[in-house]
A and B are shown apart, each in its own frame.
Chain A
């Protein structure tokens, strides 16, 4: 139990003390057992106050401190650092939130707010009494990173990681790098060809001897933890003899008699059973669909020295200090019959149109018919009120409008119709929307409750839509091609990666970061980061930004060779534990395993893997598990603190001034503002004059006058004769 506790209660200007009697509380807790110092302070977070706390800890040999101020989200680390600077273990610090969870929500009942604050502070003192000095856990880390997925995000991250002297393993499930952008003929806003971007990144990667690329590779098994992940990968065979003559390989591709589905071109065409995704695809080695050639014995016999149909998959083990997952997304696949998809012959998806455009250089032709008009239906598979995909895929509006501009540039005489719910071409992309409108693209707005209907009338395909831009008038659009603007969905194999690395998946089935703003690329698994569209819909720039953020995090993590991790983990009382396995069953991170304690079988916690979530603790039938900083003593003593009776001396009510015009009552201003106003004469006043009249600190008066000026409570009234001080006047 801590016996020399310091308590600091913050006014936060007037944010707390206007409603909570901070001075009274400061006096009250001074009499508390084991509390050596109890002070009310104007701004606990101010540099000067931080220095005072450090001095207090050292001069009074404090063994714990409690700061009662704002939310821990703002200043928990500030005061932990204060403790550390004073030589006190930061775990012996507790922050009590008497602003967001007391003075502000209870500003309507200041007396009760003071009573509640007393309970909160007492709970904080009780909790810190049971605090233990915890040390961060030091782990050694291998200076290597595993990047999963060689799309644009993964490749950019791999280059950055390699540039920072990390060993990089980049694994790609496909046989060729590039991911989705290789399927894009032109990219907004630079109009670069996607394949050229892929080639540039690949060639850049080849300059780094510390990058090893595995294509046709999947993760099979993962063990270990931060600093030392052991990952087994399976590399599928290409069935091409590595020593084969390049000309012979090329000839084999040309002469191959068997065709298979062309996944790269979304099955719009077929390709040879010896293929590259596209002629310039990298690595520059084709792949054989061996199964398809099993009956083509004449052909395989002719190219026996070129092909190696007996080649087997290899399993390799890699050790990585950290992991970046950049596995990308899948296109939403419309259901059969959804807007006529697969049931009406000229209905395609936007990704399919993009492939068609690349395959048709002069005229846009689909199923033998030249396309002169296209109707785009937006939000297919996105923003579903009733379906699974509630989210907006955010990049499809831009992608469609960009495609529309490309259509007119490439094929000239072509008309496009856009049936949208809302156009979300945010940022610079809005310029493209304006350009599209200028060039004559027609836009119709529909609502989800009245979706467009695609039907066939003789030889024509008709799209009917109630246009909300023209008083819900029903329009009929005849289109040569109906294009469904499909959004992004999580990859089908996301659950496999999730299970292997224990990355949580959100309701939208994309990987979950810890916090979208504060920890946007971190997962709850220490050392595992996410980047790009595996996390949710993003455009290419945003994908690269997030993967580079992940790469920077990893570089910082691996730099020193060791890493300190948070000591808030589960711990098992081996005397109580009878090993029933329930704690292990509920742990999603396999952090708890059966171990021997002497001759007794008990639960053992791998602290490097444990996230400190605490899910294991309530399921223990003998209460043998606790989480550091959330022990029974700490939580139950907090509850006791809330319930303890509080007696506070009641003060006389402040007589409030009334505004003459009755517009703004003085009571609505914070206490400090009222004091400043009372300290001002009817004429203009300098800051030193107000300080002299109010006895408030100069910095405090200056700070509040600026805010009061912003809210029109006071006005500046020029400078004094020496031009040293501004005058302020009551408004």
Chain B
């Protein structure tokens, strides 16, 4: 068996105190989403470096999803703005490399957002599958 898999590969940047418990809860409740979704957990969604996003896309990920802390962030009340800036900067870099800006997406996820996470993955997977760049 090889890694051949039809679902788009999505890299999720989650955060250990906010969205990661929500993603864990999706597993606990056996809410299914595509196995081609991989998660890297960070302290805060405003700490994602655009170069990591570029690296993931260049390595073959079809899309990158930032599970943003938004207003729930315990570090900064400006977290949503900071994360938004990261997405904008990343999209500018992606444009330079002819990567479709829709390959980066951000949405707020909380610590009990199990179903919303699975829904996001399903919807984003469909969008990515439809992209032809």
Contacts and interface: CB of A to CB of B under 8 A. Distances in A.
* A-B interface, 4 closest residue pairs, ranked by CB to CB distance from nearest: A614-B47, A100-B27, A104-B27, A100-B24
Interface residues of A, number: 62
Interface of B: 1-3, 5, 9, 11, 16-17, 20-21, 23-28, 30-33, 35-36, 38-44, 46-52, 55-56, 59-61, 71-79, 82, 85-86, 89, 118
Contact of A73 (B5, B24, B38, B74): B24
Nearest to A648: B1
B23 A618 contact: no
B74 A512 contact: yes
B43 A505 contact: no
Contacts of A623: 49, 51
A71 B21 CA distance: 9
Contact of B47 (A119, A617, A643): A617
20 contacts: A97-B39, A100-B24, A103-B27, A104-B28, A106-B32, A109-B32, A116-B36, A586-B46, A586-B76, A611-B75, A613-B47, A614-B42, A615-B47, A617-B49, A618-B48, A618-B82, A623-B49, A635-B40, A638-B40, A639-B52
Contacts of A103: 27
Nearest to B25: A100
A42 interface: no
Contacts of B75: 504, 524, 588, 611, 613, 615
A105 B61 contact: no
Interface of A: 71-73, 97, 99-109, 111-116, 119-120, 123, 504-507, 512-515, 523-524, 568, 586, 588, 611-615, 617-619, 623, 627, 630, 632, 635-636, 638-640, 642-643, 645-650
B46 A105 contact: no
B32 A105 contact: yes
Contacts of B85: 619
Contacts of A642: 9, 11, 38, 61
B74 A639 contact: no
Given A105-B32, A618-B50, A645 B2 contact: yes
B43 A613 contact: yes
Given A116-B38, A505-B77, A506-B71, 10 more contacts: A100-B24, A102-B27, A104-B27, A104-B28, A105-B27, A115-B5, A513-B74, A515-B17, A632-B49, A642-B9
Contacts of A107: 30, 32
Q: Decide if the interface of chain B is mainly helix, strand, loop or mixed.
A: mixed
Nearest to A627: B47
Given A105-B32, A106-B35, A504 B76 contact: yes
Nearest to A641: B38
Given A630-B42, A642-B38, A647 B21 contact: no
A115 B35 CA distance: 9
Contacts of B32: 105-109
A113 B49 contact: no
A523 B28 CA distance: 28
Given A614-B46, A618-B46, A650-B1, A632 B27 contact: no
Contacts of A524: 74-75
Contacts of B79: 615
Contacts of A115: 1, 3, 5, 35
Nearest to A116: B35
B38 A119 contact: yes
A636 B44 contact: no
A514 B71 contact: no
A15 to B, nearest CB: 10
A627 B42 CA distance: 10
B17 A514 contact: yes
Contacts of A515: 17, 74
Contacts of B17: 514-515
A109 B25 CA distance: 18
Contact of A635 (B33, B52, B89): B52
Contact of B73 (A116, A504, A618): A504
Nearest to B21: A73
Q: Chain B CB within 10 Å — which of A102, A611, A613, A630 has the most?
A: A613
A512 B2 CA distance: 46
Contact of B5 (A112, A613, A627): A112
B48 to A, nearest CB: 6
Nearest to A651: B1
B24 A97 contact: yes
Given A116-B38, A614-B42, A646 B3 contact: yes
Given A618-B49, A639-B61, A109 B71 contact: no
A110 B81 CA distance: 39
Contacts of A635: 40, 49, 52
B21 to A, nearest CB: 7
Contacts of A649: 1
